[in-house]
Each structure stands twice: as structure tokens, then as C-alpha cells.
Amino acid sequence: MSQAQAPDIDLRSDTVTHPTAAMREAMAHAPLGDDVFGDDPTVLALERRAAALLDKESALFVPTGTMGNLVSLMAHVPRGGEIIAPAESHVYNDEAASYAVVVGAGLRPVSETRDGEMPVEAVVDAIQDASDPHCPITSLVVVENCHAHTMSRPITPAYMSRLRRALPGELPIHVDGARLFNASVALRVPVADLVRDADSATFCLSKGLAAPVGSVVVGSAEFIGRARRARKLVGGGMRQAGVLAAAGLVALEDGADGTVSRLADDHAMASLLAEGLAAQPGIVSPGHIAQPDGAGLDPSRVATNFVLFAVEGGRSRRTAYLAALRDRGVGMVAYPHGQVRAVTHLGIGPREIEAVLDASAAALRQSAADAC
Ligand SMILES: Cc1ncc(COP(=O)(O)O)c(C=O)c1O
């Protein structure tokens, strides 16, 4: 799965970003305490800032997005409960089945549209009859925003309010917002609007926002109290965590050191990449998100910083294409449904995109020749 050396131009994920100079400076000088005793001032400042930005009562700093989702599930869902989540979601596919192993819950996947939304009627249909002792009790609905597997599409506040109105009032919604700020920038809406109709949300500081480590969970004070207990249970109580939280605080700053508004650059670079790739013979749209009227890669589908595409010729050509790219110093990764994923981020500008497109053209030629 891993290779010893990172590629020169690394589009495998936005998690590969290194902290900015301002982050390193803030980390070096952060006032620290013991966060398990609740007295690390930098962690407390980050939690206050995150809660204010997302307009929720309280927040909790956690090491990873995976742990943020896990402690949220633990805080919302009793053993034997059932979670409704998108069929392609990270919570369902990419968190080692923690909903089952740790939470002790079932999960009912609902297929998404090509824009990453579970149809609201399908979610309502998936709710179990709580009066029937045969049935698990539906305890949570998860929404992923941005929705990674459909090209990291942003989910709108309008969808969230339609979903909220259709669900019983007592059924909570959790947003896995690993890239919530990308959605906010792409849709040009305040990040709080994206979670107004949710009871809790997780967002990651360690992806496009460029902090080295860390995610934040937000929700009511009572929910965060339960999530904090869950965090302790899974070993996520960190001590002088302010040294990490300091980088997150810089990421969320309004000024020039903040990394939220610059996400727009990543989105522009992803569009540029998709336009170039779409013109290369052999690059097509992944089937599950292809336009009904054509197989070509549609650059207008790029709304944030993911470009998902397929290579004609099936999986063996994809493997050869990725290896040929790697030989040319470019990293992309295989993704479900036979796709290739390329993710733009801090440090990827027009020059890098031009180099990636040259490498892709050469890799397409080489992989076609290798396949003959
Ligand atoms: C949609 C989504 N949710 C959650 C996560 C988990 O984040 P982490 O890698 O910090 O555990 C990821 C990671 O890429 C993700 O893409």
C-alpha cells in the first residue's frame, strides 16, 4: 500500500500537505496545558473557535477524522442501533467497520445520486419501525460533505434542510465534514449554514487546510460531553495537544495565514487538471458518475479539489498508467469503481498541473503500449 518515497508531485491526497511556516511558528510557541485535565489553553481556544465558526454550542479536538466520526457515532447510537449512511461513504467503507466493531451498531447503506446526496425519500424509507421488536432502532443519519466518491461534491444547505424536515425530530443527523470547508468555499456559503440542520459534525484540519494533524467535532454541550467520554474510551485523550491545535488555529484564522480561503485555488487547479485530462485520448469519466449522454470526463463536474477519472482499457491499464505516472514523479491513486483519484492542495499550482498533464500523456501512451 505504501511506497518509501513520496512522489515529487503528489496528488494522492490533500492529506500530504505540510504545515505552513505560520503554523510551525505557532506550534513552537503555543501555550500548553494538559488537555485531559481540560486546561490546555490552545486546545480550548481551537475548540471555542470551531464551535463559533460552525455555530454550535461546543467542540472537541480529536486526532483524526476517523476518530471524530467514531466518537460521534458512539455518542449518538446505542448498541444494536442502526445508522443510515451513504453507500459510498467513508463511515461505511473506510473506517474498518468501527460502527460495528466498536459502536455495536448496524448500518443501512442508501445509494447516492451522482451528486452524493441520498434521496430524501430513500432515507425516510430506510427508517425502521421502532415498535417492531424484530427491527434495529434507527438512531442516526450520516451525510458526507464533501462527498468524496462522487468527485468530492459539496452538499448544499437546501438539501440538508429538506432532509431535516423529512426526518422525525428525534433522529439526529451527523455530518462527516472531512472537507466541509471545501464545500463552504465552493458553494460560497458560511460553513455554519452547512451544518445548521445537523446535530453534530466533524471536520478535518489535516487535509486541504494543511495542519499536520487534527480534526474537530462540534455539537451541543451535552453531545460533546458524551463524545469526550468516548474519545477517552478509544484512547484519544491527548495531553499537551495544544502543540497540534496551534496549527489548526492558524488554519482557521481570517487573515493571510489562514488556509480556508486559499482552498479556492485548489478548486481552480483541479478544474485546470480536469480540462487538460479531458482532452487526452484514453481518459474517460468513471461510469457511476458519467453524464447520461456521454462517457467523456466532464470538467464541469469538478466543484472542489478532487478529479476522479477512469482510463480506458480496464484495471490492468490503470495499474500500468499509475506506475508510469509514478516513474515520472507524479503520484495519483486507484480509487473504487476502477477510478483514478487526483487531489489538488497547497503547493500545486499551474506549473505542477502542466507537468502532470505532460506526464499523463506519456503514461497513457506507455500504458497502451504495455497492454499490447
Ligand atoms: C470523507 C472522509 N471522512 C473521514 C476521513 C477520515 O479522516 P482521517 O484520515 O483524518 O482519519 C476521510 C479521510 O480521507 C474522508 O475522506
pLDDT of residue 209: 98
- Cβ-count burial 205-244 (b if 16+ within 10 Å, e if not): bbbbbbbbbbbbbbbeeebbebbbebbeeeebbbebbbbb
DSSP letter string over 224-286?
HHHHHHHHHHTT---SSTHHHHHHHHHHT-SSTT-SSTTHHHHHHHHHHHHHHHHTSTTEE--
Pocket test for ligand 1, best of 94, 155, 181 (most atoms within 8 A of CB): 94
Q: What does DSSP assign to residue 56? A: -
Closest-CA residue to 47 (of 29, 66, 68): 68
Q: Which atom in ligand 1 lies closest to the alpha carbon of residue 144?
A: 1
Q: 90: Cβ below 6 Å to ligand 1?
A: yes
Q: Distance, CA 33 to ligand 1 centroid (Å)?
A: 28
Domain-by-domain residue ranges, the chain? 9-15+261-371, 21-251
Q: Distance, CA 176 to ligand 1 centroid (Å)?
A: 8
For the chain, the average pLDDT equals 96
Per-residue pLDDT band for 370 (boundaries 50, 70, 90) equals confident
pLDDT tens column, 326-357: 999 999 999 998 999 999 999 999 999 999 99
Q: Which atom in ligand 1 lies closest to the alpha carbon of residue 204?
A: 10
CATH topology of domain 9-15+261-371: Aspartate Aminotransferase, domain 1 (3.90.1150)
Q: 66: Cβ below 6 Å to ligand 1?
A: yes
Phi, psi of 261 (to 5 degrees): -65, -25
Residue 36 has pLDDT above 60, yes or no: yes
- Average pLDDT value for residue range 245-270: 97
pLDDT tens column, 87-114: 999 999 999 999 999 999 999 999 999 9
pLDDT of residue 1: 54
Q: Which atom in ligand 1 lies closest to the alpha carbon of residue 176?
A: 3
pLDDT tens column, 168-222: 999 999 999 999 999 999 999 999 999 999 999 999 999 999 999 999 999 999 9
Q: Which atom in ligand 1 lies closest to the alpha carbon of residue 69?
A: 4
- Average pLDDT value for residue range 303-326: 95
pLDDT tens column, 69-91: 999 999 999 999 999 999 999 99
Burial environment of residue 326 by CB neighbours within 10 A (0 to 12, 13 to 18, 19 or more): middle
pLDDT of residue 288: 79
pLDDT tens column, 271-302: 999 999 999 999 999 877 777 766 789 999 99
Residue 53 has pLDDT above 70, yes or no: yes
Q: 144: Cβ below 6 Å to ligand 1?
A: yes
Pocket test for ligand 1, best of 90, 112, 147 (most atoms within 8 A of CB): 90
Q: Distance, CA 178 to ligand 1 centroid (Å)?
A: 6
pLDDT of residue 39: 97
* In this structure, CATH architecture of domain 21-251: 3-Layer(aba) Sandwich (3.40)
- Grid cell in block for residue 129: 419501525
State what percent of residues in the chain have pLDDT above 70. 98
pLDDT of residue 295: 78
- Average pLDDT value for residue range 121-133: 97
Q: 176: Cβ below 6 Å to ligand 1?
A: yes
Q: Distance, CA 66 to ligand 1 centroid (Å)?
A: 6
